[in-house]
Amino acid sequence: MTLPNAPTLAALKHAAAGMANRDTPFIFDEWYVAAFADDVSRTLLPRRLLGKRVVLYRSESGQVVALSDRCAHRAYPLSLGSLEGDTLVCGYHGFRFDTQGNCIEVPSASKCPKGIGVASYPVIEKGPLVWIWMGDPALADPAKLPEQEWLGAADWKHSQGGFQLQSNYVSMHENLLDLTHLSYLHAKTFGTPDYARAAFRSEVGDGYFALYRDVVPTTLPPVWAEPTGLVGCDTAARIVKSEFKSPAFHQVNVNFYDSQLPESQRQVSRIRTAHLLTPETQSSCHYFIVHGRDFALRDDAVTAFMHEQLFKAFQEDVDGMAALEQVWETTDADEMYEMSVAADGPSVAMRRYLKARAEPVASLVRVSA
């Protein structure tokens, strides 16, 4: 039996205290994806974001509106009300709100009382995504949106989908920053056995964490081999960069080519995947995904094939993270521990960053302790 002994456990717990996990508060002052742009319409869309109930809709001119999903009067869900022009009328007693959350009409009162209202949230619609700022609105600077130009670019072909993740968002960020799991969790989809053993290097910045892994030479699984024309090639290169760009946004970038060809003759096929995580509750998460490629842009069969294959693989992550959440859920806190290895470097740094962002003081105290 090699259960960690008491001194080891104490050291592990000390380290863990500085790392975000499922119990860590949310980080509010960030842009998060509220919805795919396609899903916001003239139909009221209720959604729980960072623990808060929000209702989303479009004004008549198409602007996205995000309000607290509870009437100012008796807290009835506004999403059960109805739109009249740009205003939202509560389905309980008919209180009417404008797009800023101000109450502008109370049917039982001839004159609308002053100062009744609900929170409205800053939103930015950009390409396929609607971003929302759930924190201090004074800090909602559009310049803080993570770089994402390719998401709307014409020279990339996109495909999108989403999941309700029954897991905290920290675990999913960690999943994305350690792609050695491709050889195991995704053994039947886009992983290959050599992936986990490939050389890697990492980059740890201020709120930016990346892991680079070059799998060369390799044989690509069908999901990548078929669209890139590298079927049967056992000298393929799979050059991966996995980037934590913000608490809301992880991007995976992969280049594929035949490593036997001289650099000048290589045809490099690029794919990117935006993994967009918006906590719903402490133990569940909206998981939006936009996938893109820079080749075979007009080939719908390739789009359909890759979408189907990829989302089958992403489902494995979704199932795996839910299973992991259950371990945390059902294990006594004082028996829980994690042991890290070299490949976890960026992930541990990322979790420390999330912890420090979420609980600046607690984090400092613990480091100095």
Binding positions for a second copy, 47-66, rule CB under 8 A = 48, 51-53
Q: Residue 212 in 3-state DSSP?
A: strand
Q: Does 336 bind a second copy (CB under 8 A)?
A: yes
Q: In the sheet where 129-133 sits, what is the strand order?
A: 31-36, 129-133, 123-126
Question: Using CB under 8 A, which residues numbered 120 to 159 contact a second copy?
Answer: 120-121, 137
Q: Does 117 bind a second copy (CB under 8 A)?
A: yes
| Comparison of 208 and 337: residue with beta carbon closer to a second copy | 337
Tell me the torsion sign for CA atoms 65, 69, 75, 77: positive
Question: Using CB under 8 A, which residues numbered 220 to 279 contact a second copy?
Answer: none
Binding piece for a second copy, criterion CB under 8 A, among 55-63, 285-293, 324-332, 356-364: 324-332
Query: Using CB under 8 A, which of 9, 37, 80, 362 touches a second copy?
Result: 80
DSSP string over 118-173? --B--EEEETTEEEEE-S-GGG--GGGSPP-GGGG-TTSEEEEEEEEESS-HHHHH
Kindly state the smallest distance separating residue 293's Cβ from a second copy, in Å: 27
Residue 258 CA to residue 316 CA, distance in Å, equals 28
Question: Using CB under 8 A, which residues numbered 171 to 200 contact a second copy?
Answer: 174, 178, 180-181, 183-185, 196-197, 200
String of b and e for 164-190 (b: at least 16 CB within 10 Å)?
A: ebbbbbbbbbbbbbbbbbbbebbeebb
Binding piece for a second copy, criterion CB under 8 A, among 107-115, 226-234, 303-311, 352-360: 107-115
Applying CB under 8 A, what is the total number of residues that bind a second copy?
72
Report the chain's terminal Cα–Cα distance, integer Å: 31
Structure tokens that stand for 278 in this block: 């918006």
Q: Which residues contact 1 (CB under 8 A, 6 or more apart)?
A: none
Residue 236 CA to residue 269 CA, distance in Å, equals 11
Q: Does 365 bind a second copy (CB under 8 A)?
A: no
| Comparison of 41 and 102: residue with beta carbon closer to a second copy | 102
CB 165 within 8 Å of CB 284: yes
Q: Does 328 bind a second copy (CB under 8 A)?
A: yes
| Comparison of 73 and 307: residue with beta carbon closer to a second copy | 73
Residue 138 CA to residue 150 CA, distance in Å, equals 28
The binding track of 276-315 with respect to a second copy, each residue x by CB under 8 A or -, is ----------------------------------------
Query: Using CB under 8 A, which of 106, 151, 165, 349 touches a second copy?
Result: 106
| Comparison of 267 and 331: residue with beta carbon closer to a second copy | 331
Binding piece for a second copy, criterion CB under 8 A, among 74-82, 145-153, 268-276, 295-303: 74-82
Q: Which amino acid is it at 121? A: Y
Q: Does 7 bind a second copy (CB under 8 A)?
A: no
Kindly state the smallest distance separating residue 156's Cβ from a second copy, in Å: 30
Structure tokens that stand for 246 in this block: 């913000």
Kindly state the smallest distance separating residue 160's Cβ from a second copy, in Å: 26
Binding piece for a second copy, criterion CB under 8 A, among 150-158, 233-241, 285-293, 316-324: 316-324
Q: How far is CA 216 from CA 194, 213, 246, 310, in A?
A: 9, 9, 29, 22
Residue 118 CA to residue 101 CA, distance in Å, equals 5
Query: Using CB under 8 A, which of 139, 323, 364, 365 touches a second copy?
Result: 323
Query: Residue 301: in which H helix or E strand, if any?
Result: helix 300-330
| Comparison of 100 and 267: residue with beta carbon closer to a second copy | 100
Kindly state the smallest distance separating residue 277's Cβ from a second copy, in Å: 17
